[in-house]
A and B are shown apart, each in its own frame.
Chain A
């Protein structure tokens, strides 16, 4: 059976600056994985490559057997980015309708109402999400990510800006996605989520430093940045 997500020697660099060293990773269908790492470790780069938003400098990515960015991969993968983005002239409800219909959904209204209700933003359905606060934007982006069908769900730092009710609702939605058979990959530092996953993948300085079951691993150690030594070499011109 094809993997839900497979990265084969994927690397990314900007000029001479490497953002992601070659990473190989295979995530099976139905798995629930947490991707952790310190700031600048390459988590977002890896997710964006998998989503097809970035071109890999080396290697290849497949989503449910389709090359990343291809029509099949786009149909299978729902990606919720760390920075929510909305149209200036569409309400939240119109966003949901648009995205659902772009994915061929015709019976989307009830699902949309349920999602907004679950996230506690049903009364904001007719507002412009671009004017929302950070937390509300995050909830709106999650609703848009969930309104469409998917086999693989990738979410980047979804807990940032959410209140406790929002975090709880999101945890339930992620659990629901897993239960329905979707593969869930979440880049996060949120321990309440990390403790619910079956597998942790950790990046440091663009390299894969851990990939395995949660067990007794020290997640704090995995996200810590090592101090660069000997950077300052006295007087500089």
Chain B
């Protein structure tokens, strides 16, 4: 037992053997029929979604001058996206990302005298591979969108845009992991990552927006996305590959403290994602990034607002939001505003991006309501209807969207500096922001206890029906948020047809308003609706019915 002190790595063979055994066991335990069935369902649903979305994109082809603009500004703009991804990756690395391993692996393997780099290199590569795959999907879809707007007689064929978009997406997405890994293994302090990341983003921003368009580090990666094959692009990818290899080589220097903290959270996160439990995903993401509420509030709730306990509770919650969350919310609204401008300029699918950004913003803004729903026992102990308690939590989050709408309007005006922009920003921004909140509210409230007690009804449905029901339940809240972005379509149509733009916007905004009102009404009357629906679909048996059948 004693006298074991050694400085040589042992146990690598045991590690390899055990990993091989576990992999074999997982493969042998796999339900192949179920797996194939899942692949079939995913292909069916995914194929339908892709075909439907593809048919939606019927935008007008670029003019010659627009093509010149795309070819000139495109690489720099894609480079800006990569700079932002790099910045986020650096932040992730400073917070302990991007690698996570099993909790037991930390305890039993990383505390054993085994070369840690040998243990950690594989999960790091896996993380890079997954990121590259996800990025390739997004990049390929973006390439598809661009190809649809390119003239049919253009020299680059649509498939090339898809392939190059996928390649650029894979590189950009993998660079998130590379940046995170590099910052983590070099133990760069959090403040330094902020400074370096901001400097890189500022540099790339200058390349995009200043008339001089100075050379910037991420522009060559943007060339790949537009099928521009040149030496700087090849050099940039080579440099990135070398940096990635160095980061992997040093992966033994990853902090055990960070790995231990992340291991339990990441496994919970994966489980929550499997269940499409967005609220849990949000909470776990906050824990992973160590995002805690401020102990000292930004402001004191005014006395007039403290008269209503629910209003006071909501205002106090917002006053404790950490700076990081406020900045993220502002960035989301900037993203939505830029997407709206992009949709106005001709790329209609960007309204989906705007709606999703506002949905995520809504998830943050409705924090007081989500907290209430997280504590159902407390809500039920209040001598008020649950629906009324929840509905009273809607006012403050709705009003809290106002400053974000102002920020979004300012961004839109900066990109399209006309008087009409401000009118359009108000008539598009307000309903869109409220629809973002409405989608988030539906997502939160559907997680509250079911008053009709029908939570297990999916157990008796055939898999196709229960699977589809699950998909619809998960997709419905973001869809509501995306619906809120549709006034921008009315704006484009009114402009193209020479109609009265404010009138067209008011009409569609009223339509979105009806959806928002229905959501508010559903929150207020959810319990009654659920009970009514249950009785309508499954009427209670008349008295004595049981005796007759027995």
Interface contact B5-A75, CB-CB below 8 Å: yes
Residues of B within 8 A of A70 (CB): 7
Q: Which of A53, A87, A103 is in CB contact (< 8 Å) with B11?
A: A103
Is A180 among interface residues, defined by CB-CB distance under 8 A?
Answer: yes
Q: Which of A71, A89, A102 is in CB contact (< 8 Å) with B25?
A: A89
Residues of A within 8 A of B22 (CB): 87, 89-90
Residues of A within 8 A of B1 (CB): 149-150, 177, 180-182
Given contacts A87-B104, A89-B22, A144-B108, contact A151 B3 (CB under 8 A): yes
Residues of A within 8 A of B255 (CB): 55
Residues of B within 8 A of A180 (CB): 1-2
Q: Which of B17, B102, B112, B256 is in CB contact (< 8 Å) with A87?
A: B102
Interface contact A71-B113, CB-CB below 8 Å: yes
Closest to A79 in B: B111
Is A54 among interface residues, defined by CB-CB distance under 8 A?
Answer: yes
Interface contact B112-A86, CB-CB below 8 Å: no
Binding site of A, secondary structure by majority: helix, strand, loop or mixed?
A: loop
Interface contact A98-B6, CB-CB below 8 Å: no
Is B231 among interface residues, defined by CB-CB distance under 8 A?
Answer: no
What is the bound-complex CA distance between A74 and B18, given in angstroms?
20
What is the bound-complex CA distance between A89 and B30, given in angstroms?
13
Residues of A within 8 A of B11 (CB): 101-104
Q: How far is the CB of A10 from chain B (nearest CB, A)?
A: 14
Q: Which of B242-266 contact A (CB under 8 A)?
A: 255-257, 260
Residues of B within 8 A of A66 (CB): 5, 7
Is A212 among interface residues, defined by CB-CB distance under 8 A?
Answer: no
Closest to B105 in A: A87
Residues of B within 8 A of A148 (CB): 112
Is B541 among interface residues, defined by CB-CB distance under 8 A?
Answer: no
**A interface residues, tally (CB under 8 Å):** 39
Is B212 among interface residues, defined by CB-CB distance under 8 A?
Answer: no
Residues of A within 8 A of B13 (CB): 101
Interface contact A71-B2, CB-CB below 8 Å: no
Interface contact B108-A237, CB-CB below 8 Å: no
Chain B 367-380 interface mask (CB, 8 Å, partner A; 1/0): 00000000000000
Report the tally of A-B residue pairs with Cβ distances under 8 A.
111
Interface contact A55-B257, CB-CB below 8 Å: yes
Is A24 among interface residues, defined by CB-CB distance under 8 A?
Answer: no
Interface contact B104-A86, CB-CB below 8 Å: yes
Residues of A within 8 A of B9 (CB): 71
What is the bound-complex CA distance between A196 and B107, given in angstroms?
28
Closest to B108 in A: A99
Is B103 among interface residues, defined by CB-CB distance under 8 A?
Answer: yes
Is A69 among interface residues, defined by CB-CB distance under 8 A?
Answer: yes
Q: Which of A72, A79, A86, A101 is in CB contact (< 8 Å) with B14?
A: A101
Chain A 42-79 interface mask (CB, 8 Å, partner B; 1/0): 00000000011111000000001110011110111001
Chain B 15-33 interface mask (CB, 8 Å, partner A; 1/0): 1011000100110000000
Interface contact B6-A72, CB-CB below 8 Å: yes
**B interface residues, tally (CB under 8 Å):** 39
Interface contact A53-B256, CB-CB below 8 Å: yes
Is A85 among interface residues, defined by CB-CB distance under 8 A?
Answer: yes
What is the bound-complex CA distance between A22 and B1, given in angstroms?
32
Is A167 among interface residues, defined by CB-CB distance under 8 A?
Answer: no
Residues of A within 8 A of B8 (CB): 71
What is the bound-complex CA distance between A85 and B9, given in angstroms?
23
Interface contact B14-A54, CB-CB below 8 Å: no
Q: Which of A65, A81, A90, A151 is in CB contact (< 8 Å) with B107?
A: A81
Interface contact B14-A98, CB-CB below 8 Å: yes
Q: How far is the CB of B522 from chain A (nearest CB, A)?
A: 35
Q: How far is the CB of B142 from chain A (nearest CB, A)?
A: 38
Residues of B within 8 A of A177 (CB): 1
Is A199 among interface residues, defined by CB-CB distance under 8 A?
Answer: no
Q: Which of A190-207 contact B (CB under 8 A)?
A: none
Residues of A within 8 A of B115 (CB): 71
Q: Which of B279-316 contact A (CB under 8 A)?
A: 300-301, 306
Closest to B109 in A: A102
Interface contact B4-A237, CB-CB below 8 Å: no
Is B106 among interface residues, defined by CB-CB distance under 8 A?
Answer: yes
Q: Which of B25, B103, B105, B256 is in CB contact (< 8 Å) with A69?
A: B256
Is B186 among interface residues, defined by CB-CB distance under 8 A?
Answer: no
What is the bound-complex CA distance between A137 and B10, given in angstroms?
27
What is the bound-complex CA distance between A104 and B25, given in angstroms?
24
Q: How far is the CB of A205 from chain B (nearest CB, A)?
A: 19
Chain A 85-100 interface mask (CB, 8 Å, partner B; 1/0): 1110110000100110
Q: How far is the CB of B298 from chain A (nearest CB, A)?
A: 13
Is B114 among interface residues, defined by CB-CB distance under 8 A?
Answer: yes
Instruction: Give the 3 A-B residue pairs with the shortest CB-CB distance, closest first.
Output: A101-B14, A102-B11, A104-B10
A-B contact pairs, 18 of them (CB 8 A): A53-B106, A55-B256, A70-B7, A74-B111, A74-B112, A75-B5, A85-B104, A85-B106, A87-B104, A99-B108, A101-B11, A101-B18, A102-B10, A102-B113, A102-B114, A148-B112, A151-B3, A181-B1
Mark A residues whose CB is within 8 Å of B.
51-55, 64-66, 69-72, 74-76, 79, 81, 85-87, 89-90, 95, 98-99, 101-104, 144, 148-151, 177, 180-182, 237
Q: Contacts A70-B7, A149-B4 given; 12 further ones with Cβ under 8 A? A: A53-B106, A71-B9, A71-B113, A75-B7, A75-B112, A85-B103, A99-B108, A101-B11, A101-B14, A103-B112, A182-B1, A237-B300
